[in-house]
Structures are given as structure tokens and as C-alpha cells.
Structure 1
Amino acid sequence: MRRGILMNRKVEFKIGVLFVSTLLLLTGCSGSTRTQSAFNDEAVISVEVEHAKKELIATGNVYSGVIQPKEEVTIVPKFAGKVAEMELEVGDAVKKGDVLLKLDDKDLQNALKQAVAAESAATANVKSTAASVESGVVQSESGVVQAKGNMVQAETSMIQAENGVTQAQNAVTKAKNAIEDNNVALEKAESILNDTKTNFERMKKLFDQSLVSKVEYEQSELALKSAQSSYESLKIAGKNAQATLDNAQKSLQAAKQTYTKTTEGYNTVKEGYANAEKLVSISQSSAAVEASQQALEQAKVAVEIAQSNLGDAVLTSPINGIIASKNINVGERVSAQSTVLTIVDLETVKVLTYIPASEINNIHVGQQVQSQTLSFDSTTVGKVKTISPMDEEGKGYPVEIEIPNPDLLLKSGMLVDLQFIDEDAKEEILVPATAVLDEKGKSFVFVAIGEHPERKEVETIEKIGSKVVVKGGISEEDLIITKNNSILSSDTLITY
């Protein structure tokens, strides 16, 4: 069993030293010299002070736990793509809804354009079909629909040609990158080949002199052959990469030509559609009108899907938190299964501990828990969040505790000692152990009152960590002197 304490945040005032004066008195006797120091009554002593506080005293068993984030989320894109924008780094704070990164959305924008064009075509088809019902000119309506279909096909072809240009440009870029990568690998392979040649020649000389075994000699020869093979393979790969680049550049040129032709064709078809629409409105059956309405609804759904996909190219934070890990950079490609960022919420942390069967019924949800961080001097108070009714493989019953962490001093992975605070826990006045002085079997502290210290006798009850429980002599919020108190008297001038 060990006693713990609910520690309040220390209020510490520290101002620089104004003046410390020491008088050295020298006296001589029988040829010897003796030095004695005395403090001038008007010297000003710099001290540190801390408020005396009433704090809850926790008792009972001490349990261990590890700090974890209250919430941790991984950011995974819904589709593969290249990162176009991302300015965040590990440790940056984000709010819910903040933009984390943007993927290259050129293809998605093209898809949206295509969907919008199809919706426009479907809308026009509904209008033309309704007009045909009123006009009754079936033959002319057929010409309008055909012209509209041709325009849609031409527009689709134009968009596809534009996509072809983009894909061809990407292929050229990829081929150039492959050549650069191969050149780097070839330089490395050449260096390795030179090293293995040098090593083989050295091993051959040693082997001829019977200074190394045949196995070692053959191993060096095998390494040389392997290095030569790797080097030759990379040379061949370089030629292949260059050929791929040449083909990609030719494909890019062809794609650009195709795009130019499809654009010209689209303009021609568009003029034909405008002329056909002017000629006449065609009558159709009510079934045809209904079919055109359904086609329009489908086209609208396609536009909504394309807009949603375009929106998914922008990844936002689902929580307030801190960037805990970053696995991607601008320009790199991500897949739909890859975690690009991890965000944790540390403003409140949680600790999981295990309580034995003999103690679990003494704990309830909402109960206060004292948490002492082992890595640095910090004591905070949390509350029991959940209590599991199931023993976990003999380790005890899992109890989850939430601890406020507004200053973010508590980090994930830190070890803490935990003590549960009973409802009848007592509040006692505690002061730093450095503030308590002993003289002739009695304890006292100095309290800062204005510019002078006042000595007050106290009764020490027990020492808890770096604090001492005291009674009598002082009250809550007294300014207790914690530094340079051993050289004080009631006449000393102090600053703090």
C-alpha cells in the first residue's frame, strides 16, 4: 500500500536577485587568520514562494497504466491518386473540417464535365421530346435527336481525347523518371562492379599465394559475375527505358493531333445540332417522354456521383487533434488502402488499467482518480469512464480513465501511477518539502508577508512525494517560502 496525493498546479513566483551583501570580518591571533561572515540586516534576499493549498489525499492501492489518446483516427483516401497539396507536418494542430491534403483532381474534373454534358444532353432530349408531342413532326424530331446524339458523342470524344493527352503526358513523365532511376541504379551498379573487380583481383593474388581458401576465392569470383550481370542488365534496361520514352513522346504527339481533330469535329456537329433544332419540333408518344425523363434523372445522379468524387479529392480532418504521423509528401501517389495521416486527440487522454476482483466493486463510473506521471513531476485528476464486467485473461477487470490534458503535457505512451479517490477523502494543507525547516525537534516554515518573512511553527503529518502534509500555523493561500529560507530571519528584507 502507498499513499498518494492530488497535486494542484504549483504557482511559483521568481524574480531576479536585487542584492546580497556579505560582510567578511578578519581578525588575527597568534599569527593565524580567521574569516567570519555575517549578513547585513539591510541585505535583500531573493526567494521563491508557492501558495499553500488544500489538496485531496488519496489512499489505497497503486495501479499502473499507459497514457493513450482519447481518440485516434487514420486518414485514408477513397481512391488512388497523386498528392497535389499538403502543408501539414507532424505535431501540427488541426480543427475538425480543416483541409489536410488535396489529390490531383484533373481526371475527376473531366469526368464531371462529361457527366454535366450528358445531363445537358438528357435535358435537351426531354425538351425536344416534349416539343415533339406538341408538334407531331416525328421525322424532324428524329433529326434533332440524332444531331444531339452526335454532338454528345463528339463532346465525349473530345473529352476522351483530352484524357488521352493527359495520359500520354503522364506516360512521358513516367518514362523520364524511369530513365533517371535507371541511371542512378547504373551508377551504383558500376561502383559495385568496380569494387567487386578490385576485391576479385585481390582475392586471386591471395589465392595464388595460398593465403585464402578456394571457397573464398570462388565467392569473390561469383560476386564479380553477379555484379557484371547486374550492370549489363541495367544497361539493357536503360535502352528499353529510352525506347519507352520515345514511344511515349510519339503517343503524346498523336494524342494531341487526335484532340485537335475531335475539337474540330465537335464544333461541326454542334452547328448541325443548332440547325436541326431550328427546323422543327417533333411529336413523340408519352412513353418516349417518360423514357427521356428517366434518362435525365440518371444523368443527374451521374453528375452527383462525379461531384461527390471530386469532393473526395479534398481530405479534411474529422476531429480536433494533432498530426501524429505523416506517411506521404506532395507529388507522391497514394492508394485507397494506404494511411496517409494519423490524427490524435490529446486534449483529453485515457488510461487503461486492470483492477482485481477483490477491488472492482469499490470503483464506480465517474469516480475521481489521481494520476501521477512517472516521467516528470506532474499529478492530475481524472475520472473513471468505463468499467468492464469481464475479467481479461486473469489480468483483472479493465477500467478506462479519462484525464484532462489542456496543456498537452501528457503524451501517448507515458507511464502513470493511479490511485482511486474515495468519496470521503480528506483535504489537507500541503507545502513543498523544501519549505519545512527543523530546529530543536520542532518544524517551521517562513511565510512571505510583504517585504519580510514570518516564521510559523507547523506540525508535519507525513511526506508524500515532494510535498509534506502540515497542520497548524498556516492557512490556505499563504505564500510559503521554498528557497533561501535557511538564511532568513524576521528582520530580513526579501524579494520574490
Structure 2
Amino acid sequence: MDGKGLEQHGREGADGSIGAPAGGTGSALMRKRLLAAGLVVILLVAVGIGLRIARREKPAGQSETGPVPVEVMAVERGEVKRVVDITGRVAPEVEVNIIPKVPGRIRSITVDVGDRVREGQVLAKIDDAELVAALHNAEAGLAVAEANARIAAAALEDARRNLDRMKQLYDAGAVSQQQLEQAQLNYDRAAAGVAEAQVRQARAAVEAARVQLANTVLTSPVDGVVTARFADPGAMAGTTQPIMTVAAIDQVQVQVSVTGDDINRLKAGQEVPVQVSAAGDQDFKGKIARISPAADARSKMYPVEITIPNPGHLLKPGMFAEVKLATEIRRDAVRVPVQAVLDKEGRKVVYVVEGGRARERRVETGIADERYVEIISGLRHGERVVITGQEFLADGAAVTVTGGAGKGAKS
């Protein structure tokens, strides 16, 4: 074989040998790609594990972007009330049924439901024709009795004078004992004939007739409002059924029922906030007027009566009232806002801000009202407790105080 053959053979060999080495090069490339993919997977797994470890090491409740923003309030001393909410109904202080004292036909009615009336104001009149006639008859009877009394009095005077004269004549021996005794008898008869009793009786009859006549005019016994009307002019009125009702509502009352556990904690004169939704959003100030010493036989609850000034008559009989009875009052209690106290698995806890971190503190609570809860133990006066954002916290979480209330809240 010549040199060209060898060279050609060498090229072919080179060309032919390209196939075998090419296959080896492809396998190497595949291995490189698999190796790179494996490294990526390992890197991702490592990153994931690192993030998970980081999360576990990060205090619970801490924001991904930094400390948790919170608002705080300094623990303070002040009043806390234990309040019992009870529902009652508004009732008039005085309610009077207007019932005629004499029967008869109603001549007129001068007021209607909703009208305000004054004490002594005329409300209605009953026909008085028969009673006017009865009064005239009684007055005539009195006149006759008085006339008879005058005649009897004159006869008595004559008898007295005659008796005096007969005594003088008897002493002088001019008349007999029998004549003197007859003069005495005439005097006694004249004295018995004086009709003083008849006059008194006649006068009583006149007075009774006048009272009956006056009773035909029905007046209001109180300042108040006509709350009901049951009759019209022309109707017959009796002496047992009312023709209208008048209620005094310048001051109203609410009666509520209290348990035996609370009744001895209340005092007459104690101020009581009252809300009546039908009368608007304002709070009304009432006072405990009466506390029953005995429980109701059926409910076993103790009635308590609360009076409320009502000059504008906003409170009307029948409205529902929400009464807030303070059964316990702590005047100088250590207190925090109610929202500061959390319930964790039956434990009462708060978060206290110390050195930029929230520290969980277990507390013992006492009585509470709508705004504050009494702290019996676990906090000191002046410490800063979290009142907003506490639901995102855990013990040791970093916090940023963004606001608050009370002395030292932002310090």
C-alpha cells in the first residue's frame, strides 16, 4: 500500500473512528446534564430545609417583614363595676281610672287619648237634671225644718216665761202646786218640740245633694296624659266601669326582677343607667326607688322599682327598657381594658411589652364591666399591656408600639 492509500486509510480510519468516539461524547454530555439537574434538586431541597428551619427558629407571631405593630395601655387604678343587664317595661308613676261616682248619661267629654291634662281639669260631665231637682227638694225640706224649728223655739220661749211666772205666783201662794206642775209640763213639751234634729237632718240632705251634683263633673286627680278612653257622649255611665284612664308620666318607673344573690347588693337611691331603644340612643338616668323585701311567690325573684325623670315624655308606658344594675363596685381596682385579656386553654393571659418584645403574663381576673376588667394578680400598676394586635402575638415576639392610651403607654 502506497502513502496515499495509507493517508486515505488514515482519513477513513479517522472518519470511521469518529462514530465510536461520538457515541462516548454523547454519554458524557448526558451524564453532565444529569449531574447538573441533581445538583439543582439538592440545592432546592437544601434551601427548603433551610427555610423550614428558619421558620421554626423564628418566634411565633413575628411578622415576616419585622416586629408586630401593637397598641398598648398602661395598667391603671380606677372603678370597675359588675353589671347585671335586666329587661323591664316602662310604666307610669301613677295611673288613674276615671270612674263616675254617680250613674247617668254622659253629657260631654272634653279630652281624648294623648291629651295632656292638669290636676283639677274637667274631663267629662254627667247629665245633672235629676240631681239638680233633688238638690232643690232637699233645700225645700231644709227650709220647712228651719221654719218649724223657729216656731218651736218661740213656743219654748213662751213656756219658759210662763213657768217663771208660775214659780213666782206659787212662791206668793197665788197658785196651787198643780198649776205649777202644769206649767212645768208645758215647758218640757215645748223643749221636746224644738226640731233641731230635723234641721240637722235636712241640712245633711242638702249637703249630700250638692255632693252628688258636684260628682257629675269629672276632673283629673293628677297632672298627666289621657292614655285610654272607653266611652263617648250620650252613653250611659255606671259607677263601676271607667270612662277613661289618665297616667302621670313626668316621672316613670321600670320594675325589674333580681335574684337572691344580687338583691342585698342593691341600695335605695342607687343610680341606674337605663336604655330604651324606642326612645332613641340616649341613656336615661334612673334611681332605685323601692326594693322588695320578699320574693315573688311564683318567680322567686325580688321586685325592684326604678324611677326615671321624664320631662319630655319620651318614655311612654309599655316601652321595653334595658336596665344596667351595678351589683358590685370596686372604686380603686387595678384594671385593664377587657380586650387586653385573652383566654388560652382556660388560662387568662395578657401581653406585657418589655424591651421591645411581648411577654405573655398569666393573670387572675375579678369583676368586669363593658370597658374594664379587674386584675387581682399578675400585673403591676404602670405596666404596659397590649390592647390591639395581641391576637397575633406569642411569648417573646418582637413588637413595635404604634399607639395606645393611658399614662406611659408610648414610653
Which TM-score applies when normalising by structure 2? 0.52
> Which residue among 77, 85, 88 is the counterpart of 2:100?
77
2:288 is aligned to 384
Report the Cα distance in structure 2 between the residues aligned to 1:471 and 1:315, rounded to whole angstroms. 63
The 1:423–1:290 alpha-carbon spacing in structure 2 relative to 1, beyond 3 Å, is farther
Secondary structure of the equivalent of 1:359? helix
Secondary structure of the equivalent of 2:294? coil
Does residue 94 of structure 1 match 2:117?
yes
Cα offset for 1:85?
Answer: 2.4
2:262 is aligned to 359
Secondary structure of the equivalent of 2:203? helix
Greater strand share, structure number:
2
Report the Cα distance in structure 2 between the residues aligned to 1:331 and 1:107, rounded to whole angstroms. 16
1:327 is aligned to 230
Cα offset for 1:75?
Answer: 0.9
* 1:85-484 pair list within 5 angstroms: 85-134=108-157, 285-291=187-193, 292-375=195-278, 376-392=280-296, 393-421=298-326
Report if the CA contact (8 A) 2:156-2:190 is conserved: no
Question: Which runs of no fewer than 5 residues in structure 1 stay unpaired?
Answer: 1-55, 137-282, 427-460, 463-469, 474-496
Cα offset for 1:394?
Answer: 3.5
Report the Cα distance in structure 2 between the residues aligned to 1:65 and 1:81, rounded to whole angstroms. 40
Cα offset for 1:57?
Answer: 8.4
Report the Cα distance in structure 2 between the residues aligned to 1:383 and 1:288, rounded to whole angstroms. 70
Cα offset for 1:296?
Answer: 1.0
Report the Cα distance in structure 1 between the residues aligned to 2:192 and 2:282, rounded to whole angstroms. 73
The 1:74–1:109 alpha-carbon spacing in structure 2 relative to 1, beyond 3 Å, is same
Deviation track 1:292-333 (CA, whole Å, cap 9, x = no partner) reads 121111111111111111111111111111111111122221
2:40 is aligned to none
Which TM-score applies when normalising by structure 1? 0.43
Greater helix share, structure number:
1
Deviation track 1:383-409 (CA, whole Å, cap 9, x = no partner) reads 111111222224521111111111110
Report if the CA contact (8 A) 2:82-2:329 is conserved: no
Matched to 2:322, the amino acid is D
Report the Cα distance in structure 2 between the residues aligned to 1:312 and 1:424, rounded to whole angstroms. 58
Equivalent pairs, count: 232
Report the Cα distance in structure 2 between the residues aligned to 1:382 and 1:315, rounded to whole angstroms. 34
Deviation track 1:355-410 (CA, whole Å, cap 9, x = no partner) reads 11221111111111110113332311101111112222245211111111111101
Secondary structure of the equivalent of 2:290? strand
Secondary structure of the equivalent of 1:60? strand
Cα offset for 1:345?
Answer: 0.9
The 1:394–1:127 alpha-carbon spacing in structure 2 relative to 1, beyond 3 Å, is closer
Secondary structure of the equivalent of 2:225? strand
The 1:317–1:290 alpha-carbon spacing in structure 2 relative to 1, beyond 3 Å, is farther
Matched to 2:301, the amino acid is G
Report the Cα distance in structure 2 between the residues aligned to 1:425 and 1:371, rounded to whole angstroms. 21
Report the Cα distance in structure 2 between the residues aligned to 1:118 and 1:318, rounded to whole angstroms. 34
Report the Cα distance in structure 2 between the residues aligned to 1:406 and 1:58, rounded to whole angstroms. 29
Matched to 1:97, the amino acid is G
Q: If you compute each CA radius of gyration, which structure gives the higher value, 1 or 2?
A: 2
1:222 is aligned to none
Q: Over the residues paired in the alignment, what is the CA RMSD in angstroms?
A: 2.8
Question: Which runs of no fewer than 5 residues in structure 2 stay unpaired?
Answer: 1-78, 160-184, 333-386, 389-403
Report the Cα distance in structure 2 between the residues aligned to 1:64 and 1:345, rounded to whole angstroms. 22
Identity %: 33
